[in-house]
Chains A and B, each alone.
Chain A
Amino acid sequence: MRISDSRLRGIYNDLLKKSATLDDSAVPQILAAVGDSSRLSFKNLLAQLSAPGLTKQQQLDLCLGGMTNNEKGDICQILDEGEVPMSPTARNFLEALVGRSALQGNDPLQIIVTGDQKNGIAGIAGPNVTIEAINLSTAPGSRLHVDDTMVIGRTDEFGRFMGSMDDVQEGDIIRMRARGADGKVGEWVTMRAGGISAQDTRHAVVALSRVGLADAGAGKLKLEAVESRPLTEPGARLQLTNERTGEKTVVTADENGKLAGAVMLNGKPGDVFSVAATDGQTNTDFAVETGKLIAPGGASDNLVVDLPDPAMCKDELDANGNPKFELKRFSGPLFHNGIAPGDVEQGYIGDCYFPAAMAALAQAQPEVIENMIRANGDGSYTVTFKERDWRSGGYKDVEIQLDGDLWARSWGSPIYGASGGDKSQKKMELWWPLIEKAYAMWQGSYEAIGNGGLSSDIWEACMGRDGAHSSVKYMKPDSLWAEIKDAVDNKLPCGAGTYGESQEALYTNSGIYANHAYSILGYEERDGERFVTMRNPWGQSEPAGNGRDDGIFKVTLADFQKYYQSFMTVRD
Chain B
Amino acid sequence: MALPPEPIEEVLPQAALVVEAEVESILSTGPAQPPVQAKPGATGAPGRDAPDQTVKLRVTKVHKGPAGLSELVVLKPVAGYALRAGNKGPFLLDDAKPHPVILGRYGPDTWNLGRVLEGLGAAR
Contact = CB atoms under 8 A, between A and B. Distances in A.
Interface of A: 345-353, 451-454, 469, 471, 497-498, 500-502, 504-505, 507-509, 511, 513-517, 538, 540-541, 544, 549, 565-566, 568
Given A350-B2, A538-B4, A504 B82 contact: yes
Interface stretch (B12-20, B39-47, B64-72): B39-47
B44 A514 contact: no
Contacts of B88: 509
B1 A350 contact: yes
B1 A508 contact: no
A351 B109 contact: no
A541 B109 CA distance: 8
A81 B58 CA distance: 91
22 contacts: A345-B4, A348-B4, A351-B44, A451-B44, A451-B46, A452-B38, A452-B45, A454-B42, A497-B41, A502-B32, A505-B82, A508-B81, A508-B83, A508-B108, A513-B2, A514-B81, A515-B44, A515-B80, A516-B43, A538-B5, A541-B5, A566-B41
Contacts of A516: 2, 43-44
A345 B84 CA distance: 30
Contacts of A514: 2, 48, 50, 80-81
Chain B CB within 10 Å — which of A350, A351, A538, A544 has the most?
A350
A-B pairs, top 3 by smallest CB distance, nearest first, are A452-B45, A516-B2, A452-B44
Contacts of B2: 350, 352, 513-517
B45 A565 contact: no
B109 A568 contact: no
B80 to A, nearest CB: 6
A17 to B, nearest CB: 77
A549 B5 CA distance: 13
Contacts of B33: 501
A498 B83 CA distance: 17
A515 B48 contact: yes
Nearest to B48: A500
A214 to B, nearest CB: 32
Contact of B89 (A352, A500, A504, A509): A509
A446 to B, nearest CB: 13
Contact of A350 (B44, B106, B109): B44
B3 interface: yes
B107 interface: yes
Interface of B: 1-5, 32-33, 35-36, 38-46, 48-50, 80-84, 87-89, 106-109, 112
Contacts of B87: 508-509
B36 A497 contact: no
B41 A452 contact: no
A364 B5 CA distance: 27
Contacts of B81: 504-505, 507-508, 513-514
Contacts of B109: 507-509, 511, 513, 541
Contacts of B35: 501
Contacts of B83: 505, 508
A515 B3 CA distance: 10
Contacts of A513: 2, 80-81, 106, 109
A55 to B, nearest CB: 67
A505 B41 contact: no
Nearest to B39: A454
Given A452-B1, A453-B39, A508 B80 contact: no
Nearest to A471: B41
B5 A352 contact: no
Contacts of A505: 50, 81-84
Nearest to A454: B42
Contacts of A508: 81-84, 87, 106-109
B84 A500 contact: no
B1 A515 contact: yes
A452 B38 CA distance: 8
B43 A452 contact: yes
Contact of B42 (A452, A504, A507, A540): A452
A348 B3 CA distance: 6
A504 B50 contact: yes
A565 B41 contact: yes
Contacts of A502: 32, 50
Contacts of B106: 508, 513
Chain A CB within 10 Å — which of B3, B46, B50, B80 has the most?
B3
A453 B84 contact: no
B46 A452 contact: yes
B48 A501 contact: yes
Contact of B44 (A353, A504, A544): A353
B45 A346 contact: no
A505 to B, nearest CB: 4
Contacts of B3: 346, 348-350, 352
Nearest to A517: B43
Given A452-B46, A513-B109, A568 B84 contact: no
A212 B48 CA distance: 46
A388 to B, nearest CB: 16
